[in-house]
A = this chain, B = another copy of it.
Amino acid sequence: MPGTVEPNSASAPISMASGADQTGVRLYNERLILSLVRRFGWLSKIEVARMTGLSVQSTSAIMNRLQADGLLRREAPMRGRVGQPTVPLSLDPEGAFSLGLKIGRRSCDLVLIDFCGAVHRRARETFAYPTPDLVLNFVKRALPSIQGAMTPAQLRRIAGLGIAVPFQLWNWSAEIGAPPGAMEVWRSFSILEEVDRLSGFPVTICNDATSACAAEFFFGEAWRQRDFLYFFLGSFVGGGLVLDGALYTGRTGNAAALGSMPIAACERGSGSTTQLIARASLYQLERLLEAAGRDPSSMWRTPESWDDFGPHLERWIEEVSLALAQASIAAISVIDVAAIVIDGAMPIEVRQKLCLRVAALVETLDRRGLSDVKIICGVVGADARAIGAAAVPLIKNFARDREVLFKDALNGSG
């Protein structure tokens, strides 16, 4: 019997792949244009048409629609050249709003940002260590207060609420400084569901470092890179990843769990490894300061100035750089990103020093077979996690996903 084929397990994990239609095209083009405008600050319709390859007429129609929707804003026409003046269009900051909840080791923050990433309002609560009750009560108080200050029009434009939370809080509880077992509640507690119940708009959750990466991607300078890997040094170090101009969150929202990367131990012999998290986190600096009889609390109180930490800071930077350099090499042997961005809850000078040192150390390592990589300093800083948490709903709504439908990718099936 010809053509009797066997396979077809038929146990299709139903609809894992969706077909496309015109509405998808519209959505795709709208987001593409918004991304371009975000990226270049402002653009004229003609420039957008040239960049996208869309016809001027279509571009015009789409951008007029976006303007009518309040997402784009007409700027003052630019005269001086022959012909009708260029009308620049830029993002309207009031085009959308988003909330970000960052849950940290000793504080949590709730911020309201606009479409351009500016922080409009913020609330903060500090604690010895985080518990679900503390966080929820904080949200219950802070959320109405923030919403109360918004106009009805603004309220309608809230895209969602993003949560940035360290993954597996219950691990590393000793390092957090919580009593043994105190963090176990987080294992079964769904902060997403609880906040969802309180808020009334879409809630997303993301690893805190991936959130920080989202901030750098959407509002920072790193968009100049098409792909980049991102380290955020908070109490614990973590990471994020941007691929093909889109934030990569992975199956579990835990993509780029760089803190868990094994790093060859420096001192000990016998090829043992320790996780990056135990080598490149801020809590190690805290330990160093404590061991030297210093009060480390200013680390967290004034993340703008660490001028008086002296040799302890230097020592920490050196150790961290070594670990980050090794992690960077390991990472680009998995994904050949063009750039690695380093940011953290620390003064800009410290971040810059760190970046330079990592860049120098990377040069000393065995890079045979690897493409070159730039080490770049993040620009958002300590707030990146909260702002990034808020950025995630905006990205979900207004940034382009992985790109398809290249118009020049012709000859499909002939």
Q: Given the known inter-chain contacts A18-B408, A270-B269, A333-B257, please indicate yes or no for A398 contacting B413, CB distance below 8 A.
A: yes
Does A168 interact with chain B (Cβ within 8 Å)? yes
Does A259 interact with chain B (Cβ within 8 Å)? yes
Does A141 interact with chain B (Cβ within 8 Å)? no
Please determine whether B25 and A257 come into contact, CB atoms closer than 8 angstroms.
no
| Interface SS of A by simple majority | loop
* Residues in B whose Cβ lies below 8 Å from that of A155: none
Q: How large is the interface on A (under 10, 10 to 19, 20 to 34, 35 or more residues)?
A: 35 or more
Does A134 interact with chain B (Cβ within 8 Å)? no
The residue on B at minimum CB distance from A72 is B413
Query: Which of B10, B23, B50, B266 lies in contact with A15, CB distance below 8 A?
Result: B50
For the complex, give the distance between the alpha carbons of A245 and B13 in Å. Answer: 14
Please determine whether A258 and B333 come into contact, CB atoms closer than 8 angstroms.
yes
Please determine whether A409 and B27 come into contact, CB atoms closer than 8 angstroms.
yes
Does A267 interact with chain B (Cβ within 8 Å)? yes
For the complex, give the distance between the alpha carbons of A365 and B76 in Å. Answer: 60
Interchain nearest-CB distance for A257 vs B (Å): 5
Does A42 interact with chain B (Cβ within 8 Å)? yes
Interchain nearest-CB distance for A119 vs B (Å): 20
The residue on B at minimum CB distance from A414 is B69
Does A368 interact with chain B (Cβ within 8 Å)? yes
Please determine whether B16 and A329 come into contact, CB atoms closer than 8 angstroms.
no
Determine how many copies of this chain the complex contains: 2
Does A397 interact with chain B (Cβ within 8 Å)? yes
Would you give the 0/1 interface string for A21-58, flagging 1 where the beta carbon is closer than 8 Å to chain B? Answer: 11111111111101110001111000100111110001
Please determine whether B25 and A369 come into contact, CB atoms closer than 8 angstroms.
no
Does A297 interact with chain B (Cβ within 8 Å)? no
Query: Which of B335, B400, B408 lies in contact with A334, CB distance below 8 A?
Result: B335
Please determine whether A24 and B406 come into contact, CB atoms closer than 8 angstroms.
yes
Does A129 interact with chain B (Cβ within 8 Å)? no
Does A308 interact with chain B (Cβ within 8 Å)? no
Query: Which of B1, B334, B403, B405 lies in contact with A229, CB distance below 8 A?
Result: B334
Please determine whether A368 and B260 come into contact, CB atoms closer than 8 angstroms.
yes
Interface with B: A99-107, A247-255, A351-359, which one?
A: A247-255
Query: Which of B36, B335, B338 lies in contact with A17, CB distance below 8 A?
Result: B36
Please determine whether B330 and A5 come into contact, CB atoms closer than 8 angstroms.
no
Known: A3-B90, A229-B334. 16 other contacts (CB 8 A): A4-B76, A12-B47, A17-B36, A18-B53, A18-B406, A18-B408, A243-B248, A252-B336, A258-B333, A261-B330, A262-B264, A262-B366, A268-B269, A271-B271, A277-B369, A398-B412
> Can you give 26 A-B contacts (C-beta < 8 A)?
A3-B73, A5-B75, A5-B88, A5-B90, A7-B40, A8-B40, A8-B41, A15-B51, A16-B51, A18-B408, A20-B407, A21-B54, A22-B22, A23-B407, A23-B410, A24-B407, A27-B409, A34-B413, A226-B251, A252-B371, A258-B334, A259-B333, A266-B271, A269-B269, A274-B366, A401-B404
